Structure 1
Amino acid sequence: MKREFKENESIDYCVLDYECPYLPDKKTRMYYRFIPKATKDLVTNLIQRGWRRFGFSYFHPICKDCNECKSLRIDVKNFKPSRSQRRAIKKNRDTQIIIRTPTISFEHIELYNKYHKFKAKKSGWKYTEIDLQTYYEEFVVGAHNFGKEVLYFYDKKLIGVDLIDIVDDGISSIYFFYDPDFEKLSLGIYSLLIQIDIAKKLNLDWIYLGYWVNGCKSFAYKTQFKPYELLDGFPKSCEIPNWEKRD
């Protein structure tokens, strides 16, 4: 018999410790909340408190004896692009953009796997090939009326996919991947600049960038978007999150 979930009803669980992808010789454990019918109000509340979303699952780390994952958000209204960020905009003068509800295609899967093979070789990421079902469950379902994909094209070729949630006070970055053959376009930087532009047009205050770990090279780019704020810990829904401003 199929289970029917009510609005914002959840199933909470956690996973066993596994190797931390950010810090060597560390273990991580994630706390999950499975919410098939999450409202935009609830998602906003969770994102403001450091939660992340993949599909129907919302999560944050609960690692023993470690508190290195800090949530980071960009101050949209006070953001001013640096010289290198302005160069990324110029590089992409011929890049086309489409914003729509998340979809799935063989083109998405091929690009995702190509990107992760590249990162495995360049940065030592562990490579696991994604299939249609897994991609659908992680990046398509759960979008409801707030999840979007920003597609990047060059000469009608898909070269980048940016998954985002547009919540009440900002944009939550879920995941971005691109074609490494177009690495010279600095698409990672450009995609964040596009998010900031979208947020400004929608009169939103923040870009929620997920976690920042001091010393982790994969996250170093996040602190280049100034000013930004950091959140220590994951406050409960009844608590006011204490974001600390950084210039």
Structure 2
Amino acid sequence: MEVYELVQEPRPCSYIPNLEARFHYFYIKDCTIPFYLHLLERGWRRFGNYFFVPICNGCEACISIRQNCENFVFSKSHKRVLKHPITLQIKRPWVSEAHLLLYDKYHQAMHVKKGWEYHNITLEAYYDTFVQGFLNFGYEFDYYMEDKLIGVAYVDVMAGAISAVYCYYDHDFSRYSIGTYSILKQIEIAKEYNIKYLYPGYWIQNHISMGYKERFKPFEILCNRPNLEEIPLWIKE
């Protein structure tokens, strides 16, 4: 395993206006599962071969959360979503023209709906972000309505945890709540394979883009920002 460290210079925050964001990065080739789990427990996330955690000055709005899938109880509304006629295909991460078109369509819709800054992604950038570094734990969950691809989720699956890396979908099928379906499906799979935790990423309370994770309470929150030698303190929210 090769590890290279980088601390990013401050840049405008993507989530909260008039604030600056700063990230601590590791570039890791051939990351081992024990080290990945060590990072997850301390609030780190993965894109490609890059692992990162926010270290913003004066702001702790981004809160690391995790669901205890063993104890998670599906509500009536959750069960209705899981009954949607969506077909799931699980495979190793890859990229095609269909991926790029759907990704672009999703971000155009989110630009209109939530004011996200829109950038068209290149094949190379997509590959580096979502395909690189999947090793023996990375998977792609493809969601179909009949033979049409309507959603893609990148999911890291390990014996002790699932990490929801990223999900995008076709807003023409928004009535099927694909984003919610994806998280619930990952919890369902975790239960089936006795995987205790799902790490869905960062939560910002009441935020237009990051507040939706409140719909999957109860969850645990990381209440400290430990370095790699410190013990992470998780409490039930």
Q: Could you say what the CA RMSD is over the residues aligned between the two structures, in angstroms?
A: 1.2
User: Which of these residues, 105, 108, 118, is aligned with residue 127 of structure 1?
Assistant: 118
User: Which of these residues, 126, 144, 152, is aligned with residue 161 of structure 1?
Assistant: 152
Letter in 1 for 2:176: L
Say if 1:70 and 1:233, in contact at 8 Å, map to a contact too: no
Letter in 2 for 1:59: F
Say if 1:43 and 1:167, in contact at 8 Å, map to a contact too: no
Letter in 2 for 1:88: V
SS at match of 1:109: helix
Question: Which residue does the alignment assign to 2:164?
Answer: 173
User: Which of these residues, 63, 72, 81, is aligned with residue 65 of structure 2?
Assistant: 72
CA deviations on 1:12-47 (whole Å, 9 max, x unpaired) are: 112222221221211101111000111111111111
Q: Which moved further from structure 2: 181-190 or 81-90?
A: 81-90
User: Which of these residues, 9, 14, 17, is aligned with residue 24 of structure 1?
Assistant: 17
Say if 2:224 and 2:233, in contact at 8 Å, map to a contact too: no
Letter in 2 for 1:11: Y
* Runs of 5+ consecutive residues of structure 2 not aligned to the other structure: none
- The structural deviation recorded for 1:167 is 2.5
- The structural deviation recorded for 1:77 is 1.1
SS at match of 2:168: strand
Say if 2:44 and 2:51, in contact at 8 Å, map to a contact too: yes
SS at match of 1:10: strand
- Between the two proteins, the alignment pairs up a number of residues equal to 237
Letter in 1 for 2:27: F
SS at match of 2:210: helix
Say if 1:81 and 1:225, in contact at 8 Å, map to a contact too: no
Letter in 2 for 1:225: F
Say if 1:44 and 1:168, in contact at 8 Å, map to a contact too: no
Whether 1:183 and 2:174 are equivalent positions in the alignment is: yes
* TM-score, L = length of structure 2: 0.96
Question: Which residue does the alignment assign to 2:33?
Answer: 40
Separation in structure 1 between the aligned mates of residue 130 and residue 235 of structure 2, nearest angstrom: 30
CA deviations on 1:47-75 (whole Å, 9 max, x unpaired) are: 11100000000001111111121101011
Separation in structure 1 between the aligned mates of residue 209 and residue 47 of structure 2, nearest angstrom: 19
Question: Which residue does the alignment assign to 2:201?
Answer: 210
Separation in structure 2 between the aligned mates of residue 75 and residue 222 of structure 1, nearest angstrom: 14
Separation in structure 1 between the aligned mates of residue 176 and residue 56 of structure 2, nearest angstrom: 36
CA deviations on 1:139-192 (whole Å, 9 max, x unpaired) are: 001000000010001111110000011133111010000011101100011001
Q: Which moved further from structure 2: 233-242 or 124-133?
A: 233-242
Separation in structure 2 between the aligned mates of residue 23 and residue 233 of structure 1, nearest angstrom: 21
Separation in structure 1 between the aligned mates of residue 79 and residue 193 of structure 2, nearest angstrom: 21
* Runs of 5+ consecutive residues of structure 1 not aligned to the other structure: 1-6
Question: Which residue does the alignment assign to 1:244?
Answer: 235
User: Which of these residues, 149, 152, 164, is aligned with residue 143 of structure 2?
Assistant: 152
Separation in structure 1 between the aligned mates of residue 60 and residue 86 of structure 2, nearest angstrom: 39
Runs of 4+ in 1 over 6 A off after TM superposition: none
Separation in structure 1 between the aligned mates of residue 235 and residue 77 of structure 2, nearest angstrom: 26
Q: Which moved further from structure 2: 217-226 or 112-121?
A: 217-226
